[in-house]
Structure 1
Amino acid sequence: MQAIRKDIQVSAAQLQLQYGGVTDAGIKLANEDAIAMEVPGDAHLLTFKGACFALADGVSTAEAGQQASVTAVQRFCKEYYQTPDSWSVSYSAQQLLATINNELYALSHQFTYEQKGYLTTFTALVLKSQTAYFFHVGDSRLYHWRAGVLSQLSVDHTTTLSGQRQFLARALGMDAKIELQTGSVKIEAGDRFLLCSDGISDFIRPDILQAVVTKASDLAATAQQLKTQALANGADDNVSLILVEVSAVATQSLEDLSEHLNRLPFPPALSVGMKLDGYKVIKELFASSRSHLYLVEDEESLIQFVLKCPSLNYEDDTAYIDRFVREEWIGLRISSEYVVSVIRQTRPRSFLYYLMEYLPGQSLESWFEQQPKPLKPAVAIQLVKQIAGGLTAFHRMGAIHQDLKPGNIMYLSDGRLKIVDFGSVFIAGLAEIYSPLQHEAALGTAAYSDPHYLLGHNSGVQGDIYALATIAYELFSGGHLPYGNAVEECRTASDYDKLRYHNASQFNAVIPTWFDRALQKGVSLDLSQRYHSISQLLTDLQQPNPAFLHEEVKQEHKTNPLLFWQLLSSFWFITLLLVVWLFLLRR
């Protein structure tokens, strides 16, 4: 059982809330409900992101309903605050829920023969400034109370069949595309909101719910009271609810502030010594037609960061601005020792930019150019494993990198690697990820990018596997590419059809055939032949795949038939000598 009580009061000019919640297994052995509540103590976050409440009821007939409900509420309340300040509540929540739904759906279909249902209802409430926003799927409920009247805001997504049998029609993880009910209401001081699972709504009459919420003075105690009453009324399900009261609304509308965020100007070209929002420029690290990177120092903490600015060339390009803002969100969502950290900023920005951790070192491309070729196998495989670890972190969060190359990987002084670029990343679960890509130029770098990307088709995780296998081939072969330099000249599908894989062993004699076959499978132009997961590729690179070993034996027989017949003739000659010798002994 979990009971929570909290009073939040930040300042007279901001939103002030009281809330309480409870979740209990009831008469069941396991609790498949989950609740989460997050009201930032940081004034900036409360102003620009608001307060977040979520409740989920895992589908009991699904094997993984409990994991689904916990994942949904925890991920939503954590990652909502990692979305950019310039995104609206609705845009932030819907993109986030699309990624969570995609992850649950993928988990449900992860195993062909042992499928588990990661299904859960979901109801979320975000209170920001003078508005309450809600997002709902399933049959958990959201109520709004004002002046003694309790009104249901959510719609039950159920289907009634013959008799009175009802079935859940929608849930998180049920389908690849989620159909949410969304809405908003203007809030007033004194408003109350009730989120609850059907363990409450099915066993307490609406008029009783209204009376109890009306009389509530201590929200945590009222939550416990409603739980006890539902169980006393014969509730045979988990019972969970959240009660929220608006003590005061923000005195300043966020419309002007949001407009300001969406229209943040691009920073001018910066030079050493200039200051921007408390960050002092130490030196310029990188400049291109698309972006600029500067080493800066926080004047308060004296910590150094990398500040990334958009290029003034795209000041009027809304699509470019949207992609730049999304980079920060993606970086904030991914946490891995093999991926650069994006810094969550807590003070207002005067310009459009974001911060990353500073990584002293050089690109893997520059480092590799300075090394004797080929690399020692033990060194090369450790590099490949680190890159794979970074990519796995992207994939775990439903993200596809799409532009992995040595120039986008930092080699640190202690030998560690970190992926540092988010410019081409797309998020699985968003509509465009499985649609033809619309880009002004080809996505990624021809030498490392999956040809399917460059031809306008998204191959998802398999595209990142192609890039990883290409980098592995380059590291082990001493700087060569699987299809040679001709791959960079390809423009059409027919151009790619003419490509032929170059065996890595011709560049490095120590590479065994089974290892070469794993690299070839990783860069196969036929998606049906390419690996479907990074773990499969890594496994075959570190230990011989029996199928490849069998292929090696067959290849040896095929390429050296004379040796084969010589060995076979020797066997029969020795056998004949033994027969003759035994025959002579018997005489």
Structure 2
Amino acid sequence: MSISDKQTATSGCGCLVNSISGLAMTHKKKSNKLTIDLASHSTRGLKEINEDAVGFFSPSEERLLEGKGIALVVADGVSSAEAGKDASETAVKRFIEDYYPTPDTWSVKHAGQKLLSSINITLFKRSHEFASEEKGYLTTFTGLVIKSQTCHYFHVGDSRAYLFRDGSLSQLTRDHIASIASGKSFLSRALGMDNCLQIDYSSLNLIKGDQLLLTSDGIHDFVDEENLVNTLSDSTSPQQKIDKLVYLALENGSDDNVSGVIGEVTSLPNESLNDYNSKLTMLPFPPPLDTGVKLDGYKVIKELFASSRSQIYLVKDTDTGELMAMKTPSINFEDDAGYIDRFIQEEWIGKRINSPYVVKVIEQKRKRTCLYYLMEYVDGISLDKWMQQNRFPKPKTAISIVEEIAKGLNEFHKMETIHQDLKPANIIIDSVLNIKIVDFGSVFVAGVAEIFIPLEHEGVLGTASYSDPKYLLGKNTGIQGDLYALATITYELFCGELPYGKKIEECQTAFEYDRLRYIPANSLNPMIPVWFDRTLQRGVMFDLEHRYQRIADFLKDLKNPNSNYLRDDPQIRKNKSQILFWQLLSGFWILMLLLVIAMFKHN
């Protein structure tokens, strides 16, 4: 097997692609945070063409470097498939070019798996286009993404990734090779081999001085571990090391294409808390704002909300007359770096969620003199107040509200973000019953969670009545956590109470939660059918294995009776037993009557 002669490197934020046999390239990225010395070499060796593809990309833009990291890739096109060169080049080029534009809220794992699944389908379809010519687009793939202090690696096939640390070499990937009789083996997995891709993914924490090595089998099949270790231990540059490995492979009789990439970690993001805090507190906290006060061209009309953590004001842009909501941090947390970090993150998250069911964060047009952010103004009331005024709404109205909340949550989940504090007080409903989800203070963002921040945030910020108990006890339950909150709100809309009663607000341990018992919805609202109650109960189950996995399934069972919830209905079983009893009793009396009649006739 082999791969193509392609080299992808960086020049600023651009991608430079070369197709010259025997090409070697090095790149050193300077940054105050993550810095890695990169080098690669790819040659056709003894073969006529190079079906190996290698590449790396290190962004010059700090936002991309911090949010996306640095990518290193090796792909080994399967020569027997006839289109191995095209396959490997496509895999390397598309992975590097398409990874960086992915939403910055996505985790590396999610982004990588999405991209590779798409690349796999593309290659698989191309292979079938040439089925009659036996031309297949197959390639191995080994890629690393180094983000913050973590190395994420994706792998399929028999190219390899190694970690060299403190004089010890470890293979990070496993070869997807199947052995058959006579000592022969074949590739069991590759990009483009099947329409369903099985990709290996894992991650590891890095330390300064780590060396990461990617190789095609043209190197690791012909250079033993001792020579790999000796080469990586040299005090030479990464380029000299990869050049030497290629040379050793050819000297040892490699009859394949020979390619590899090396990345040496020279520094990792590790700012001091004082450095980080100074960046966050460059803007001062605004004082409490009275009606009529002007701040940066925004006039305060009135205070909409105030708590110990923040204030929200209705303001008017003095230039355009547009009404907006201004959120300001509470001066109670002026010295709390963790709080300030979360407050700044709220605005960033809000700008990335685009849904008619989620409040919009407005882009600042003027320079800020204080710490605050702007949102669209929604003329309405919170859902908790609406439910107090509209106890037991019509089922159609209640379901419509639940569906809109679900649509808003789905927009969060598409961006790999979890709200984590969904409650009626964080949902605004207007006069025509349209809703907006507000408050991003507790939102979990997968992409941000991967970035090193020298702060310890509060563990949980959810509300005991509506947040998943698993989350409140320290476990991130993801979509199922938001689903629990949605099911709890649905229960309250139809019943006017909470599914486990008010005692849930007092629970602090798993034992205390285990003592709670679900209150059947039809005991509070007799109009609720059993199947609907079963749906609500499953939505708020503490056991994640029994709770719904997807919001769509929960909504489906709310609107359409689930036959499983009818089949084992105890009331139906009770009714059936009663009917059977009376049927047997009636049959007995009919039989006795017939016997009596027969006796009279006989006499």
TM-score w.r.t. length of structure 2: 0.58
Distance of aligned partners of 1:347 and 1:123 in 2 relative to their CA distance in 1, 3 Å threshold: farther
Aligned partner of 1:302 in structure 2 is 321
Q: CA deviation at 1:313?
A: 0.7
Instruction: Work out whether 1:374 is the aligned partner of 2:400.
Output: no
Letter in structure 1 aligned against 2:462: G
Of 534, 540, 545, which aligns to 1:523?
540
CA contact (8 A) 1:336 1:393 kept: yes
Q: CA deviation at 1:266?
A: 0.8
SS at match of 2:328: strand
Unpaired runs of 5+ residues, structure 1, are 1-16, 25-31, 81-95, 110-115, 126-132, 141-154, 184-196, 203-209, 211-233, 238-255, 579-587
Distance of aligned partners of 1:339 and 1:458 in 2 relative to their CA distance in 1, 3 Å threshold: same
Letter in structure 1 aligned against 2:109: N
Aligned partner of 2:577 in structure 1 is 561
Matches within 5 A, 1:40-55: none
Which whole-Å CA distance do the structure 2 matches of 1:471 and 1:426 have between them?
Answer: 20
Instruction: Work out whether 1:101 is the aligned partner of 2:120.
Output: no
CA contact (8 A) 2:77 2:140 kept: no
Distance of aligned partners of 1:536 and 1:301 in 2 relative to their CA distance in 1, 3 Å threshold: same
CA contact (8 A) 1:101 1:178 kept: no
Q: CA deviation at 1:76?
A: 3.6
Instruction: Work out whether 1:329 is the aligned partner of 2:348.
Output: yes
Aligned partner of 1:505 in structure 2 is 522
Aligned partner of 1:227 in structure 2 is none
Which whole-Å CA distance do the structure 2 matches of 1:505 and 1:287 have between them?
Answer: 37
User: Which string of whole-angstrom CA distances, capped at 9 and with x for unpartnered residues, describes residues 484-510 of structure 1?
Assistant: 222223233332222111111122222
Letter in structure 1 aligned against 2:530: T
CA contact (8 A) 2:108 2:152 kept: no
Q: How many residues align?
A: 449
Q: CA deviation at 1:119?
A: 8.0
CA contact (8 A) 2:297 2:317 kept: yes
Q: CA deviation at 1:67?
A: 10
Aligned partner of 1:352 in structure 2 is 371
User: Which string of whole-angstrom CA distances, capped at 9 and with x for unpartnered residues, describes residues 347-372 of structure 1?
Assistant: 4322211221211111111112111x
Letter in structure 1 aligned against 2:400: Q
User: Which string of whole-angstrom CA distances, capped at 9 and with x for unpartnered residues, describes residues 524-546 of structure 1?
Assistant: 12222211221221122122222
Aligned partner of 1:387 in structure 2 is 405
User: Which string of whole-angstrom CA distances, capped at 9 and with x for unpartnered residues, describes residues 369-388 of structure 1?
Assistant: 111x3221111111111111
Q: CA deviation at 1:443?
A: 3.2
Which whole-Å CA distance do the structure 2 matches of 1:360 and 1:119 have between them?
Answer: 53
Letter in structure 1 aligned against 2:376: E
Distance of aligned partners of 1:68 and 1:265 in 2 relative to their CA distance in 1, 3 Å threshold: farther
Which whole-Å CA distance do the structure 1 matches of 2:466 and 2:13 have between them?
Answer: 53
Which whole-Å CA distance do the structure 2 matches of 1:271 and 1:549 have between them?
Answer: 58
Q: CA deviation at 1:75?
A: 6.7
CA contact (8 A) 1:38 1:77 kept: no
CA contact (8 A) 1:104 1:173 kept: no
CA contact (8 A) 1:278 1:300 kept: yes
Aligned partner of 1:461 in structure 2 is 479
Letter in structure 1 aligned against 2:434: R
Which whole-Å CA distance do the structure 2 matches of 1:534 and 1:513 have between them?
Answer: 20
Matches within 5 A, 1:228-267: 262-267=281-286
Matches within 5 A, 1:141-156: none
Distance of aligned partners of 1:519 and 1:266 in 2 relative to their CA distance in 1, 3 Å threshold: same
SS at match of 2:201: coil
Q: CA deviation at 1:572?
A: 8.3
Letter in structure 2 aligned against 1:537: F
Which whole-Å CA distance do the structure 1 matches of 2:302 and 2:369 have between them?
Answer: 20
Of 405, 412, 420, which aligns to 2:430?
412
Which whole-Å CA distance do the structure 1 matches of 2:489 and 2:92 have between them?
Answer: 36
Which whole-Å CA distance do the structure 2 matches of 1:177 and 1:469 have between them?
Answer: 34
Matches within 5 A, 1:153-302: 174-175=200-201, 177=203, 262-302=281-321
Of 466, 475, 489, which aligns to 1:448?
466
Of 525, 529, 532, which aligns to 2:549?
532
Distance of aligned partners of 1:571 and 1:404 in 2 relative to their CA distance in 1, 3 Å threshold: farther
User: Which string of whole-angstrom CA distances, capped at 9 and with x for unpartnered residues, describes residues 5-47 of structure 1?
Assistant: xxxxxxxxxxxx89677899xxxxxxx999999999xxxx99x
SS at match of 1:348: coil
CA contact (8 A) 1:39 1:51 kept: no
CA contact (8 A) 2:152 2:202 kept: no
Task: Among all aligned residue pairs of Structure 1 and Structure 2, give the percentage whose two residues are the same amino acid.
Answer: 43
Q: CA RMSD in A?
A: 5.8
Of 503, 517, 528, which aligns to 1:486?
503
Larger Rg: 2
SS at match of 1:424: coil
Q: CA deviation at 1:332?
A: 2.0
CA contact (8 A) 2:309 2:332 kept: yes
Distance of aligned partners of 1:160 and 1:124 in 2 relative to their CA distance in 1, 3 Å threshold: closer
User: Which string of whole-angstrom CA distances, capped at 9 and with x for unpartnered residues, describes residues 219-262 of structure 1?
Assistant: xxxxxxxxxxxxxxx9999xxxxxxxxxxxxxxxxxx9995664
Q: CA deviation at 1:108?
A: 9.2
CA contact (8 A) 2:74 2:215 kept: no
Distance of aligned partners of 1:563 and 1:444 in 2 relative to their CA distance in 1, 3 Å threshold: same
Distance of aligned partners of 1:118 and 1:135 in 2 relative to their CA distance in 1, 3 Å threshold: farther
Distance of aligned partners of 1:336 and 1:510 in 2 relative to their CA distance in 1, 3 Å threshold: same
TM-score w.r.t. length of structure 1: 0.60
Q: CA deviation at 1:279?
A: 2.5
Letter in structure 2 aligned against 1:175: Y
Distance of aligned partners of 1:284 and 1:410 in 2 relative to their CA distance in 1, 3 Å threshold: same
User: Which string of whole-angstrom CA distances, capped at 9 and with x for unpartnered residues, describes residues 400-458 of structure 1?
Assistant: 2111111100102332111101111112362699xxx9638x63222112222333333
CA contact (8 A) 1:331 1:342 kept: yes
